[in-house]
């Protein structure tokens, strides 16, 4: 959208819209009085509206008018845009997209291990990068998030099952149990899919996770099943070789940096956080990890967007200073993928060259599953 004004005896308010919507306009003078506009409802395209006897701007009296734009899709007003503050608000003061179900960070599935032998204690061995649960009867369950694939490897005598958190379709294909979930799209979000697959042997289980962000061709269910079956084949061929490869990746990782502190608790937390960073953030990752993991629910008050003040940068400060700059790749790649949109925003909003990153950005604006607003094909100069 572009807004241009020229001050003469009669100002003409020129408004251009680049999306297919109906638009309702209202203009308020500096004294709060409504200024008649004709027409006050416009179709897509460009419209020039006369404003009679406009108040001129000067240093002492800026005489700022307020233009309110209501966007209407399929007969429904989706929000109010205040050009003076560049804010789009709904009835609650938040962007209208906050009222939609997605995108949000979600728990993909509940993983249940056993049920007859309650766990008595657990531990995380960062040298071998394995979490161990010891049940009251002494039985042990070892779990590893494999370093080279999105798979959880579980060594256990217990039964393992996956349970839906948000519905979805369940089934079994060639000995592999799966949960396939489709998250519906809406006016802002084109939706996504993910699939959790479970397979294994008598003593080892593997759980794979594939999303529609991870693959460019094929289907997520087939990809998740294939990943689970490949890992089972690697286990049957040589579990020792699979685990040795996992541990070697981590040895190389730990060799890049380390700390020794007088406060041992703080030192242990440093290593735990570096383990967490390596687990959730890797080169080539589709999206950067954000400030979501501590949440106890799937709902975030800020609707899971990336805030560009400092919140979204914050998780990546430590990985660079700890000699693991590769872990910042998902964030750097994300910002770089947003560049065409940022250039488009600078031109459309401020009519200038360069880039403008607004404080709030959604994941979908830089991915194959894009937000509908400002489609990537339209973000060109």
Which CATH number goes with the domain that contains 213? 2.70.98.50
Instruction: Please state which of the ranges 17-31, 120-134, 324-338 shows the lowest mean pLDDT.
Output: 17-31
Residues spanned by the domain of 304: 264-336
Q: Are 201 and 193 in contact (CB under 8 A)?
A: no
Instruction: Please state which of the ranges 48-52, 229-233, 278-282 shows the lowest mean pLDDT.
Output: 48-52
Q: Please, which residues have CB within 8 angstroms of residue 354's CB and are 6 or more apart in sequence?
A: 343, 346
Residue keyed to tokens 């593997």: 206
pLDDT, residue 283, reads: 82
Residue finishing a domain among 254, 285, 302: 254
Give yes or no: residues 213 and 186 share one domain.
yes
pLDDT, residue 107, reads: 81
Give yes or no: residues 220 and 137 share one domain.
yes
CA dist 276 → 46, 91, 269, 271 (Å): 51, 39, 10, 9
Give yes or no: residues 122 and 175 share one domain.
yes
Instruction: Please state which of the ranges 35-39, 109-113, 355-359 shows the lowest mean pLDDT.
Output: 35-39
Instruction: Please state which of the ranges 53-67, 164-178, 363-377 shows the lowest mean pLDDT.
Output: 363-377
95 or 283: which leads in pLDDT: 283
Give yes or no: residues 120 and 161 share one domain.
yes
Give yes or no: residues 118 and 222 share one domain.
yes
Give yes or no: residues 202 and 165 share one domain.
yes
Q: How far apart are CA 198 and CA 164, in angstroms?
A: 13
Structure tokens at 295: 């949440």
Counting the structural domains of the chain, the total is 3
pLDDT, residue 78, reads: 66
Q: Which of 305-309, 321-325, 373-377 has the highest mean pLDDT?
A: 321-325
Give yes or no: residues 195 and 274 share one domain.
no
Give yes or no: residues 228 and 269 share one domain.
no
74-81 contacts at long range (C-beta below 8 A, 24 or more positions apart): 77/24, 78/187, 81/1
Average pLDDT, rounded, for the chain: 79
Residue finishing a domain among 43, 62, 93: 93
107 or 79: which leads in pLDDT: 107
């Amino acid at each position: 959208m572009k807004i241009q004004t020229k001050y003469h005896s009669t100002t003409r308010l020129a408004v251009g819209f680049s999306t297919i919507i109906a638009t309702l306009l209202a203009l308020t003078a500096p004294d709060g009085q409504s200024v008649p506009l004709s027409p006050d409802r416009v179709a897509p395209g460009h419209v020039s509206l006369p404003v009679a006897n406009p108040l001129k701007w000067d240093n002492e009296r800026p005489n700022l008018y307020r233009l309110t734009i209501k966007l209407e899709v399929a007969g429904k007003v989706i929000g109010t845009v205040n050009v003076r503050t560049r804010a789009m608000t709904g009835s609650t003061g938040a962007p209208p997209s906050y009222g939609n179900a997605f995108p949000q960070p979600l728990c993909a599935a509940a993983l249940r291990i056993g049920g007859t032998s309650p766990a008595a204690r657990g531990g995380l061995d960062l040298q071998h990068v394995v979490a161990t649960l010891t049940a009251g009867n002494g039985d042990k369950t070892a779990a590893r998030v494999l370093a080279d694939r999105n798979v959880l490897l579980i060594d256990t005598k217990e039964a393992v099952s996956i349970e839906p958190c948000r519905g979805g379709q369940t089934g079994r294909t060639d000995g592999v149990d799966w949960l396939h979930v489709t998250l519906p799209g809406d006016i802002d979000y084109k939706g996504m899919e993910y699939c959790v697959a479970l397979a294994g042997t008598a003593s080892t289980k593997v759980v794979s996770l594939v999303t529609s962000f991870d693959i460019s061709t094929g289907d997520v269910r087939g990809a998740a099943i294939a990943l689970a079956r490949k890992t089972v084949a690697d286990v049957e061929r040589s579990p020792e070789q699979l685990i040795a490869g996992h541990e070697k990746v981590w040895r190389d990782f730990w060799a890049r940096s380390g700390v020794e502190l007088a406060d041992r608790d703080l030192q242990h937390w440093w290593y735990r956080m570096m383990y967490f960073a390596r687990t959730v953030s890797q080169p080539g990752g589709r999206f950067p990890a954000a400030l979501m993991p501590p949440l106890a629910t799937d709902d975030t008050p800020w609707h899971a967007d990336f805030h560009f003040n400092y919140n979204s940068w914050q998780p990546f400060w430590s990985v660079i200073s700890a000699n693991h700059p590769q872990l910042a790749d998902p964030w750097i790649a994300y910002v770089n993928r947003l560049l065409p949109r940022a250039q488009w925003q600078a031109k459309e909003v401020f009519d200038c060259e360069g880039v403008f990153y607004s404080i709030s950005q959604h994941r979908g604006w830089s991915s194959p599953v894009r937000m509908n607003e400002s489609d990537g094909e339209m973000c060109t100069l």
